[in-house]
């Protein structure tokens, strides 16, 4: 029997709304692929939802449950992967403090994704102190599970880089690991934290519907949700604008419409044919492409809608809460062990605790 422990995977989503197609191509699809082979932890970052919506308690609770429904609908299997609720894993909050000491103010405030979010989420000067803190919190979310891989969309790369920096620094300062150690050698050299690697999804950054300048995002009102009806999918796809005037105008197959075609029309030969005709302006309108595209997306979403319907029956929410509780219990075993290892390294080992 092979007793080598399986490599761990950690990733997650903030419950600021339902899951959309960007999540699917950026991360969720990979999770479904990896859950059979790796020891997977999928985190509900509900604490982070409070950074921008601290007064929307009812909505955050609802979104937390709805995101799990989306996960299960998308094919995540709670018997294979562990579903984790951030606010019930105290080790994460504690580790956040320690990592906050290891990262500089400029590491956090200069994080390009954070800078971009402050602009695009209309937070101006009124954002909470806790908002930038979420980036440090995310280091703890990840490192609490000492994962090898973190499957995420491209916007998360700066966060993963910060996390890697915090892990290297911790290992160097508290575990005596040399700063010349290659990233894959930290654990062997006695570090508490392996240096995790981002795995960017099949589509690194899916644009939102509209002119395609922003990424598809729950907070930007430009998303096609996994739970949208076939009609809504078509309506939203119709919102894509390319600026092309007529079916006979040679089109740019690098435009936003074709980013969607490449992402969602599964038949490569059909995609090539559409591209060829569009590029030549061979009597093919944007409207036609949008219809084929919406049909392909609906084919992808149909089985998800069917699975989701099961959890929308009476008692569905209780079932979901049960899955969250069971997963979080398993997750706490790992996170508590990590925290104790970290505390030992930091000379804070005044006694090991057990949770509730």
Least Å distance, CB 134 to ligand ATP, is: 10
Least Å distance, CB 356 to ligand ATP, is: 28
CA distance linking residue 95 with residue 109, whole number of Å: 19
Tokens of 17: 């709304």
Q: Which residues sit opposite 197 in a β-bridge?
A: 149
Among 169, 197, 202, 205, binds ligand ATP (CB under 6 A): 205
Least Å distance, CB 26 to ligand ATP, is: 2
Cβ-contact 91, 144 below 8 angstroms: yes
Give residue number: closest CB to ligand ATP.
26
Residue 176 backbone phi and psi in degrees, to 5: 65, 25
- What are the E-state strand segments in the chain? 8-13, 39-44, 82-85, 149-152, 197-200
Closer to ligand ATP by CB, 153 or 327: give it: 153
Among 9, 16, 198, 253, binds ligand ATP (CB under 6 A): 16
Closer to ligand ATP by CB, 219 or 291: give it: 219
Among 13, 63, 141, 336, binds ligand ATP (CB under 6 A): 13
CA distance linking residue 290 with residue 349, whole number of Å: 60
Among 26, 158, 196, 212, binds ligand ATP (CB under 6 A): 26
- Do β-strands 149-152 and 197-200 pair in parallel, antiparallel, or remain unpaired? parallel
222 binds ligand ATP (CB under 6 A): no
What does DSSP assign to residue 45? -
Among 8, 9, 18, 27, binds ligand ATP (CB under 6 A): 27
Cβ-contact 137, 150 below 8 angstroms: no
Among 218, 236, 290, 308, binds ligand ATP (CB under 6 A): 218
155 to 174: interface string for ligand ATP, x by CB under 6 A: xx------------------
Among 43, 114, 198, 216, binds ligand ATP (CB under 6 A): 216
Ranges within 126-155 binding ligand ATP (CB under 6 A):
152-153, 155
Closer to ligand ATP by CB, 164 or 343: give it: 164
Least Å distance, CB 280 to ligand ATP, is: 30
Least Å distance, CB 333 to ligand ATP, is: 25
Closer to ligand ATP by CB, 83 or 192: give it: 83
Q: Which residues sit opposite 84 in a β-bridge?
A: 43
191 binds ligand ATP (CB under 6 A): no
- Residue 301 in 3-state DSSP? helix
Tokens of 107: 């590491």
Closer to ligand ATP by CB, 223 or 294: give it: 223
217 binds ligand ATP (CB under 6 A): yes
Closer to ligand ATP by CB, 155 or 252: give it: 155
Cβ-contact 179, 131 below 8 angstroms: no
Instruction: Please report, for residues 103, 137, 184, the alpha-carbon distance to residue 197 in angstroms, rounded to integers and kept in the order given.
Output: 19, 17, 10
Number of residues this chain uses to bind ligand ATP (CB under 6 A): 21
* Angle, helices 316-345/157-175, rounded to nearest 10 degrees: 40
Least Å distance, CB 207 to ligand ATP, is: 7
State the sign of the Cα–Cα–Cα–Cα dihedral 134, 139, 140, 144. Answer: positive
- CA–CA–CA angle 24, 28, 30 (5° rounding): 110
**How many Cα atoms are found within 13 Å in the side-chain-facing hemisphere of 185?**
8
Among 9, 18, 22, 71, binds ligand ATP (CB under 6 A): 22
Cβ-contact 179, 172 below 8 angstroms: yes
Give the interface with ligand ATP as residue ranges (CB under 6 A): 13-14, 16, 22-23, 25-27, 152-153, 155-156, 201, 203, 205-206, 215-219
């Amino acid at each position: 029997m092979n007793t080598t422990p399986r490599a761990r995977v950690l990733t997650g989503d903030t419950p600021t709304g339902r899951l959309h197609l960007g999540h699917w191509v950026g991360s969720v699809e990979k999770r479904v692929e990896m859950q059979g082979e790796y020891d997977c932890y999928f985190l509900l970052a509900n604490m982070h939802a409070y950074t921008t919506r601290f007064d929307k308690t009812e909505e955050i609770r609802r979104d937390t449950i709805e995101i799990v429904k989306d996960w299960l609908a998308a094919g995540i299997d709670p018997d294979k992967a562990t579903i984790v609720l951030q606010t019930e894993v105290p080790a994460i909050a504690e580790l956040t403090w320690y990592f906050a000491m290891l990262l500089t103010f400029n590491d956090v405030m200069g994080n390009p994704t954070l800078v971009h979010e402050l602009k695009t989420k209309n937070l101006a000067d009124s954002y909470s102190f806790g908002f930038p803190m979420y980036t440090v919190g995310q280091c703890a979310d990840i490192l609490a599970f000492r994962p090898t891989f973190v499957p995420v969309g491209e916007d998360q790369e700066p966060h993963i880089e910060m996390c890697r920096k915090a892990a290297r620094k911790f290992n160097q300062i508290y575990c005596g690991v040399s700063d010349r150690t290659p990233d894959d050698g930290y654990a062997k050299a006695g570090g508490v934290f392996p240096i995790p690697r981002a795995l960017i999804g099949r589509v690194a950054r899916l644009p939102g519907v509209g002119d395609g300048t922003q990424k598809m995002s729950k907070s930007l009102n430009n998303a096609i949700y996994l739970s949208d009806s076939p009609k809504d999918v078509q309506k939203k796809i119709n919102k894509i604008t390319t600026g092309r005037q007529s079916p006979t105008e040679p089109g740019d197959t690098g435009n936003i419409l074709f980013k969607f075609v490449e992402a969602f029309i599964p038949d490569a030969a059909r995609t090539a044919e559409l591209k060829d005709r569009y590029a030549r302006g061979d009597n093919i309108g944007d409207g036609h492409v949008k219809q084929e595209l919406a049909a392909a997306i609906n084919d992808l979403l149909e089985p998800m809608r069917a699975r989701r319907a099961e959890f929308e029956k009476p008692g569905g929410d209780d079932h979901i809460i049960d899955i969250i509780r069971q997963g979080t219990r398993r997750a706490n075993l790992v996170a508590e062990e990590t925290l104790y290892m970290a505390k030992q390294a930091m000379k804070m080992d005044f006694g090991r605790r057990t949770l509730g």
